[in-house]
């Protein structure tokens, strides 16, 4: 994780440190299915730009685990590293690259909460679980807007694409209030995790849609 973050940070720094006078540098503020974020864009060659950014959003709500709702939190965090090809020389672009993907869903339960797993109620001391994805995920899509375009300083930006994050990984661990039934709880949690893993096996990609405003510096 730390190496991936460091590598992404190095690329972002390269974007900002590139020759802005020769090719242009632009920044974009945006909002979309990856959360709220921003991009830095550098023109590399005619019609080809390098784009790096950061997106983040957190949302809390109840999540079903077994037959009961537990506390849930969706944490979205991605660092995109993309090439934008303006194939017609205008605002339309084709985009491809990778993202550092820290998107995660977390679940938890408080001491005294009752979980109903496999039809059996369990009083727990704690529950911790997560759904995670591949740390490096491929992205492909299209959009509109050239943050370093010379037809003005301000530009509208939008993206439509797919983040290929691989098979989700489901993990969970619960501690029973009654140590004697811990083996039964472990088996029930394992069965629920296996069921969730099977339910999510086809969720190998995430739709990406965003809109924003770009400024050429």
Residue 207 has pLDDT above 80, yes or no: yes
What are 57's two structure tokens? Answer: 């959003």
Q: Could you report the per-residue pLDDT of 166-193, keeping only the tens digit for each?
A: 999 999 999 999 999 999 999 999 999 9
**Confidence tier at 3 by pLDDT (50, 70, 90):** low
The C-alpha atoms of residue 65 and residue 212 are separated, in whole angstroms, by 36
Kindly report the pTM of this predicted structure. Answer: 0.82
CB 32 within 8 A of CB 211: yes
Predicted confidence at residue 21, as pLDDT, reads 47
Q: In the structure encoding, which two tokens stand for residue 85, read together?
A: 């090809």
- Contact present, 164 and 137 (Cβ < 8 Å): yes
Q: Residue 19 has what pLDDT?
A: 47
On whether the 2-216 domain is CATH 2.40.160.170, my answer is yes
| Angstrom distance (rounded) from CA 205 to CA 140 | 11
pLDDT tens-digit profile of 23-50? Answer: 689 999 999 999 999 999 999 888 999 9
Q: Using alpha carbons, list the distances in angstroms from residue 216 to 19, 41, 42, 120.
A: 14, 9, 10, 60
Both tokens of 169, joined, read 């990984």
Q: Are 140 and 161 in contact (CB under 8 A)?
A: yes
Vertex 67: Cα angle to 66 and 73 (nearest 5): 60
Question: Percent of the chain having pLDDT more than 90?
Answer: 76
Our measurement of the distance from residue 133's CA atom to the centroid of its chain's CA atoms, rounded to an integer in Å, reads: 9
Evaluate if residue 80 carries a pLDDT over 60: yes
Q: What pLDDT sits at residue 15? A: 52
Is the confidence at residue 5, as pLDDT, over 70? no
- How far is the C-alpha of 75 from the C-alpha of 24, rounded, in Å? 33
């Amino acid at each position: 994780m730390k190496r991936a973050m460091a590598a992404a940070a190095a690329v972002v720094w390269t974007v900002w440190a590139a020759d802005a006078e020769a090719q242009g540098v632009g920044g974009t503020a945006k909002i979309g299915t990856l959360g709220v974020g921003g991009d830095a864009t550098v023109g590399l060659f005619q019609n080809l730009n390098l784009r790096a950014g950061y997106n983040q959003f957190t949302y809390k709500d109840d999540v079903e685990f077994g037959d009961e709702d537990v506390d849930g939190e969706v944490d979205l965090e991605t660092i995109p590293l993309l090439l934008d090809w303006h194939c017609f020389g205008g605002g339309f672009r084709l985009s491809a690259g990778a993202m550092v993907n820290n998107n995660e869903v977390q679940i938890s339960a408080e001491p005294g909460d009752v979980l109903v797993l496999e039809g059996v109620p369990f009083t727990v001391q704690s529950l911790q679980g997560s759904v995670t994805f591949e740390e490096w995920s491929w992205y492909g899509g299209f959009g509109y807007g050239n943050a370093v375009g010379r037809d003005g300083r301000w530009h509208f930006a939008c993206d439509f694409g797919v983040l290929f994050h691989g098979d989700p990984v489901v993990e969970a661990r619960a501690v029973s209030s009654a140590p004697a039934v811990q083996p039964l709880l472990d088996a029930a949690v394992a069965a629920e995790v296996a069921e969730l893993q099977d339910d999510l096996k086809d969720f190998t990609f995430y739709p990406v849609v965003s809109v924003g405003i770009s400024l050429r510096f």
